[in-house]
Amino acid sequence: MHCSTLALRAVTFSLLMLGLSPAPDAARAAEPAPGRPNFLFVFTDDQRYDAMGVVQREQGDRARFPWFQTPNMDRLASEGVRFRNAFVVNSLCAPSRACMLTGRYSHHNGIADNQTPFPTDSVTYASLLREAGYTTGYVGKWHMDGQKGKRPGFDESVSFIGQGKYVDCPFEVNGELTPTQGWVDDRSTDFAIDFLKKNQAKPFALVVGFKAAHGPFDPPERARDRFAGETPRPAANQGVRPIFSKAAAAPAVAKKKKGATRPEGNIGYFRCVSAVDDNLGRLMTTLDELGLAEDTVLVFSSDNGFYLGEHGLGDKRSAYEASLRVPLLLRYPRLAKKGKLVDQMVLNIDVASTFLDLAGVPVPRAMQGRSWRPLLEEKPDTWRTAWFYEYFQERPFPNTPTILAVRTEDAKLITYPGHPDWTELFDLKADPYEMSNLAGDPARKDLRQKMEAEFERQKEAVGYTYPSYADFPKP
């Protein structure tokens, strides 16, 4: 097993090579210029892009859980912008969080799995906003192995270790272990509200990371009976096993296991998301009461998607749509129109560049995301039409192999290093549920050649190399 020191050295070396210095905690600039927005970034754990009431209503007959309700997420969507094609570049908890903070891919930022502490000298949007005079805070789930102590780049942190627990979870208040009572995300919201009240008179950047809806699902008492008797409708592709699964070569077995994911057992997932929705509402109410809503960039998202039976899967990691896609809502009344829908593809690595751009802070060359400002201002000159995905096999979860993929607006090529026979090609317009692998279809040879060329372009564009700090050696 690799160690955090190796990851830290890799990131520090990479930063120096790219002209970035690690951000010292003590370095602070003058107060931000008047007019700079505040930032409140709220994100859940394992929330699918369609686990929102507004999306279920939009999907109509295609909706898998039309009974699901999230009134506060829906309110945020109506008061701001809903990105309908938001994705993560690595669908795993800690790597995705590191991507959001650093604006860089996992093969550059030092975090390729869930077993590595976040390098404390990392340059993040939080550390750069802090240097520019913002008061920065982190509340809730951090993950990053079992990393302890004050969260790097933040003035204040009230966070728990690793996965924590849903009830009576101890928090580290600026590194000091402190007991709490009640449901963990309710307590995180309490701490977040305290931060907002304390810092309302100065520019701030606050992150709130909820534990929900990570399993095993344990909603608070108020949500335990919500959606009683409801079950998700079966996934259209539930019987189409992943190509890397042993069941893929045995259709009879796949059919036998079709119901193995027990959709009725996932009602706790929706109850946890619903309870988080309550807390999003509390945060929005606090911004209103403090008179901060107009001047605060409020973003709601998740660290990755989640399978609820698609391809017979639970969890995330692999490169099918239910894993890659996440909810993404943004409200900033001074810039973004109410109820706006954005269909361009946006990524979790864009968060850092967007926040820095809106704050008027230079975006380092090493950050690989793009600011959403042109999309919000409806002035996109050019925007991405393709992007690169990566996942690195973890020892605790060996069944999902290392994966590299490219997604365009209407197609996807998934590769499995060391297993060329597993290559998958999907026409997403004709086959949105990814049920028909075209990789070996002679009639689609042109599409495969086009996607392989795009794969190489995107791989080069992101400077892909297999990270030395990955859990497994290079395939």
- pLDDT tens-digit map of 297-327: 999 999 999 999 999 999 999 999 999 999 9
User: What does the DSSP assignment read for 83-135?
Assistant: ESSEE-SS-SHHHHHHHHHHSS-HHHHS-SSTTSPPPTT---HHHHHHHTT-E
Q: CB within 8 A of 28, min separation 6: which ones?
A: 130, 131, 133
* Integer Cα distance of 470 and 475 in angstroms: 11
Q: ∠ at Cα 316 (373, 102), nearest 5°?
A: 40
The first and second tokens of residue 164, run together, are: 């924590």
3-class SS letters over 179-203:
CCCCEHHHHHHHHHHHHHHHCCCCC
Coil/strand/helix, residue 173: strand
For tokens 């990755």, the residue is 304
Omega within 30 of 0 (cis) for the link into 467: no
Q: What would you measure as the largest C-alpha separation in the chain, in angstroms?
A: 67
Omega within 30 of 0 (cis) for the link into 213: yes
φ and ψ of 286, to 5 deg: -65, -45
pLDDT at 380: 73
**Count of alpha carbons within 13 angstroms of residue 354, beta-carbon side:** 25
pLDDT at 250: 37
* Integer Cα distance of 158 and 21 in angstroms: 26
Q: Which helix (H) or strand (E) holds 71?
A: helix 71-79
| Terminal CA-CA length for the chain | 16
User: In Å, how far from its chain's centre is CA 260?
Assistant: 27
pLDDT at 246: 63
For tokens 């789930």, the residue is 141
pTM flag (> 0.85): yes
pLDDT at 265: 60
* Integer Cα distance of 97 and 124 in angstroms: 11
* DSSP 8-state assignment for residue 168: S
* Integer Cα distance of 275 and 259 in angstroms: 27
* Integer Cα distance of 427 and 466 in angstroms: 28
Walk me through the domains of the chain, giving residue ranges and CATH numbers. Answer: 4-384 (3.40.720.10)
Give the residues of the chain that fall short of pLDDT 70. 1-34, 246-265
